[in-house]
Structure 1
């Protein structure tokens, strides 16, 4: 009975521990055994297609897992979606998987709170996102963070789970912010082995430039746009 009471009392911490262990084990497996697959769209396509008629579900699971286990590079999975399913269906599947993964990550964080997030996020990342989210209208900030390339955002789903933004607004604004990147990545993946390399080179150059702008100027851009939006509302 005492053991049961102790387990009940520390249930949240036990679940947090299980989640952390799961993420570390998965990270080990990912980096040491499956990294080669996630470097090659062809290898990933062969893996997904090996599930036959359940291939789409296998891809959705991968996309969901990519969001929940935030250390997996999401851009590559989005590119692979276009390579496997074409621009349109690849984009749709990526959006669906990302939305589901974001809901799961948000709810995990909301239920188990700051102890979980503090274990998963460094103090530097936590301070950065707290500063970003406190710039102004939180819905607009979330939209801009996901829209602008180069701003680290993989852990944001968990941080938003302990913030003041509602699940509904988080999903709406994060998805809207992600859409351009998902569509571009899927298009890139659909054309990656095509003969027309000029468009792919142009996309790569533009995205790379935006990426570096986001790294060095992202926070200033968000602050400027939030202030502009606030001044419009005041008028």
Structure 2
């Protein structure tokens, strides 16, 4: 890949932070109407369903935006999907939005390259994750990262575009590996909508525990998977 000129490197490195700042300004300017919409699940449902037949597209757009920006936990939009559309439709719409967002991230990483990625993921982590895609067999460990809570999956989608990964297999396999986490979140939303409080609280508690454990032990998990990747490489 041809390295961009110095002005090009500056542009690519500043692209993601600039996007975050612009979104932050918009959120600040429209903070009152946004708060009115997102202050409760009922108001979210009222706002999204207010689009009528376009409501599923609006939800997928929100899910897409969450993946692209990834400063909002994906579980929030996934729970909202189950709450708004029920389990089956919420799951399918969440998967569609996530796949679309992952596709955007993949091609952004591929087209903008390393200077841009350094603004998304630290250079040290990029170097570590690069070992997961060093060979075709080692890529198995890379996709397992998408199953584990606490791993920055949306940021990894940006990095995947820069590496030697084919687009369609990446979208398919990463989406499949995300399904267990999405299932749980959507089911929580569906349980809340159906006022199945025991199920909702139980699933929510389990999700929190798994997320905390994934965050606490993410370095150990990465180390184990890295060893697997290196064994497959050898």
- Using the alignment, how far apart are the partners of 1:84 and 1:90 within structure 2? 7
Deviations 1:78-132 (A, max 9, x none): 10000110001000000011101110111011011112112333x3xx4234314
SS at match of 1:120: coil
Unaligned ranges ≥5, structure 1: 1-8
Query: What residue is the counterpart of 2:128 in the other structure?
Result: 131
Query: Contact 1:139/1:170 (CA < 8 Å) preserved in 2?
Result: no
Query: What residue is the counterpart of 1:141 in the other structure?
Result: 141
CA shift, 1:228, in A, is 5.4
- Using the alignment, how far apart are the partners of 1:18 and 1:194 within structure 2? 42
- CA 11–231 in structure 1, closer or farther in 2 if over 3 Å, else same: closer
- CA 31–83 in structure 1, closer or farther in 2 if over 3 Å, else same: farther
Query: What residue is the counterpart of 1:41 in the other structure?
Result: 41
Query: Contact 1:102/1:157 (CA < 8 Å) preserved in 2?
Result: yes
- CA 134–230 in structure 1, closer or farther in 2 if over 3 Å, else same: closer
- CA 215–87 in structure 1, closer or farther in 2 if over 3 Å, else same: same
Query: Contact 2:12/2:115 (CA < 8 Å) preserved in 1?
Result: no
CA shift, 1:47, in A, is 1.7
Taking the TM superposition and a 5 Å limit, the aligned residue runs for 1:1-235 are 20-30=17-27, 33=31, 34=34, 37-38=37-38, 40-121=40-121, 123=122, 126-135=123-132, 137-224=137-224, 227=227
- CA 204–220 in structure 1, closer or farther in 2 if over 3 Å, else same: same
Query: Contact 1:138/1:165 (CA < 8 Å) preserved in 2?
Result: no
Between stretches 72-81 and 194-203, larger displacement belongs to 194-203
Deviations 1:152-207 (A, max 9, x none): 33311111111222222321221122101111111100111444322222212222
- Using the alignment, how far apart are the partners of 1:172 and 1:139 within structure 2? 14
Between stretches 157-166 and 183-192, larger displacement belongs to 157-166
CA shift, 1:218, in A, is 2.8
SS at match of 1:119: coil
TM-score between both structures, scaled by the size of structure 1? 0.80
SS at match of 2:118: helix
Unaligned ranges ≥5, structure 2: 1-5
Query: Contact 1:143/1:176 (CA < 8 Å) preserved in 2?
Result: no
Q: Give the total of aligned pairs.
A: 224
TM-score between both structures, scaled by the size of structure 2? 0.80
